[in-house]
Structure 1
């Protein structure tokens, strides 16, 4: 019996020795980084920003792949089918990954895609064409109040950060706008530039890309941002509204805690690189730092914050 116990103990030690180095040294080979959208969007752009720094910190490449569909749900529903060894990681967006399963069956629950790190958010912004009659946010509100439903807001998909922002906007202002979902923020902006819609409830990043072709009426940040020093915040204009798309990196939920922590540390190190941080700011993103140990509370806070918006979305569908 003693010999058998010794054999079991030695076997367990051997297995631990085989597993521990792989976790401690993670990553030891290239990591696949899945973007749940088409190339060129905010999730892809920031992953490309991270790419070189990931290699510098770990010595390993990240191989970016795309699995677009259903506003991210196609990829997130597949996340936990990958090996939980840390060599497949995935971009995840909020409030998308909270709103989608709250609204309908999308093949996953928010708890299935708990991120290892949240590294920035892209503030919501209202953008109109440069020759729009709306010189200020109040001009748009006045039109949407006087002519209910005629002010069209384009945005990135249904049950997205943009959709939630449009619902909140109507709730805050008493206006009545019409939200039109597009397959991404870039197509929504193209519709603004083409005159098919009057405005976009989009992201600061899209306004920067469009340059002097557009006018930004307000941004959903606590304070004015460096990219738009002359654009007021919603708060300045009397509306309590801060929001946008929070982006993070996640991995299958059964991944060892050591690997989850190591990935969190890597993304945190990237976020601390001054060049990377400035690159985010210059392109309209707001860096944030939510590591793995703070994710549960952060998600609980987000769910509470979005609860009223979810009820409004349900009522509008």
Structure 2
């Protein structure tokens, strides 16, 4: 398949910007392994409905993305792709179910790095990332660093200087210990040499509410949550973790303008069990690439603060390789790495 060059998205960054922070080291081994199960491939895939497990609750961004993608694939491939939410145990059950499923493409995961990289770094699980075949990511969401207005800090540089001058005196919300935004903050603290006090909340919604109420000083949250509050008088959005400024908030600087190379995002996409036949991988990959180019889907993703992607399998493998480095360091910095046996 010839890789087409895409224009800059309405988010103000390109797919290339997202994808360039990785290496292709993982691609060859997984793609080679995918061919091992080709004997299981159907003459025509899919020939019956496909179950897509979403390891998060209904109504969130991942669920919305999964339903957009599944609706598109249902029309494109001629069989229903049915979303089934399984948030049990932080998504571990859903991921394990897919890892142990038949290699026939009829049980898929619409998940993220959390499921195949972060959780295995922190816990002893019955599966590892090697038990999953990544296929294609539909989109990725960056993060925004926000502070309460009464803190008196209007720029990222000013905030970093203030935090250095007041070690341990500033607190920040996390929407769950070990989550993406918690780990992103752990790296931010290390790179800026600041020390903040962590206050955990049960999800991004409560964390955002705590910031708005002035219960916490800082929150490194999903752009999809915080962009909606850019005009709120009680908070200040300091910076976003993209490579270039967002079209929706052109005055909002990037973290990379102050900390060169600091880029973070959470992708979501299709995955299957290890050894998934390449014919099946290609069918889902090609349809997801088309979904990522669909104007209606792109518009909806942009509204959610999500960067449209529609990656090839190779591109997703490169993202995953980069994420392994990012999150291994972050998990260690946060003191959450599982102890060796």
Provide the TM-score with structure 2 as the length reference: 0.78
Counterpart in 2 of 1:133? 152
Any gaps of 5 or more consecutive residues in structure 1?
A: 1-18
* Matched residue, 2:225: 206
- Distance in 2 (CA, whole Å) between partners of 1:261 and 1:70 is 31
> 1:92–1:113: 8 Å Cα contact kept in structure 2?
no
Match of 2:139 in 1: 120
1:276–1:252 Cα change, 3 Å: same
- Aligned-pair CA distance for 1:245: 0.9
2:290 maps to 269
**Bigger mean CA deviation after superposition, 114-123 or 139-148:** 139-148
Q: 1:226 to 1:24 in 2, by over 3 A?
A: farther
Paired position in structure 1 for 2:69? 50
Q: 1:30 to 1:302 in 2, by over 3 A?
A: same
3-state SS of 1:265 partner: helix
Q: Does the alignment pair 1:187 with 2:206?
A: yes
Q: Secondary structure at the match of 2:62?
A: helix
Is 1:63 the counterpart of 2:82? The answer is: yes
* 2: CA distance, partners of 1:176 / 1:96: 28
- Aligned residue in 1 for 2:55: 36
Deviations 1:181-209 (A, max 9, x none): 43332232122223322221111101134
In 1, Cα distance between the equivalents of 2:97 and 2:196? 35
**Against the structure 1 CA distance between its residues 27 and 126, is the aligned structure 2 distance closer, same or farther, given a 3 Å change threshold?**
same
CA RMSD in angstroms, aligned pairs only:
2.7
- Return 195-204 or 48-57, whichever deviates more: 48-57
Deviation for aligned residue 1:250 = 0.7
Q: Which residue does the alignment assign to 1:11? A: none
Per the TM alignment, residue 288 of structure 1 is displaced from its structure 2 partner at its CA by: 2.7
Given that 2:293 and 2:310 are in contact with CA atoms closer than 8 Å, whether structure 1 keeps it comes out as no
2:269 aligned partner: 248
1:92 aligned onto 2:86:
no
Please, which of 321, 329, 334 is the counterpart of residue 300 of structure 1?
A: 321
How far is the alpha carbon of 1:263 from its aligned partner? 1.1
Q: Residue 53 of structure 2 contacts residue 83 of structure 2 at CA under 8 Å; is this kept in 1?
A: yes
- SS of 1:40 mapped into structure 2: coil
The equivalent of 2:13 in structure 1 is none
- Displacement of 1:169 in angstroms is 0.9
Given that residues 112 and 269 in structure 2 are in contact (C-alpha distance below 8 angstroms), is that contact kept between their aligned partners in structure 1? yes
Larger radius of gyration: 1
Conserved? CA contact 1:95–1:246, under 8 Å: no
Q: Please tell me whether the aligned partners of residues 173 and 198 of structure 2 are also in contact (alpha carbons under 8 angstroms).
A: yes
Q: Structure 2 unaligned segments of length 5 or more: list them.
A: 1-37
Contact in 2 for aligned 1:92/1:249 (Cα 8 Å):
yes
Given the superposition, is the C-alpha separation of residues 40 and 313 from structure 1 closer, same or farther in structure 2, using an over 3 Å criterion? same
Distance 1:75 1:316 in 2: 22
Q: Cα distance, 1:122 vs. partner?
A: 0.7
Give CA deviations for 1:246-277 in whole Å, capped at 9, x if unaligned. Answer: 21211222432211221111111111212212
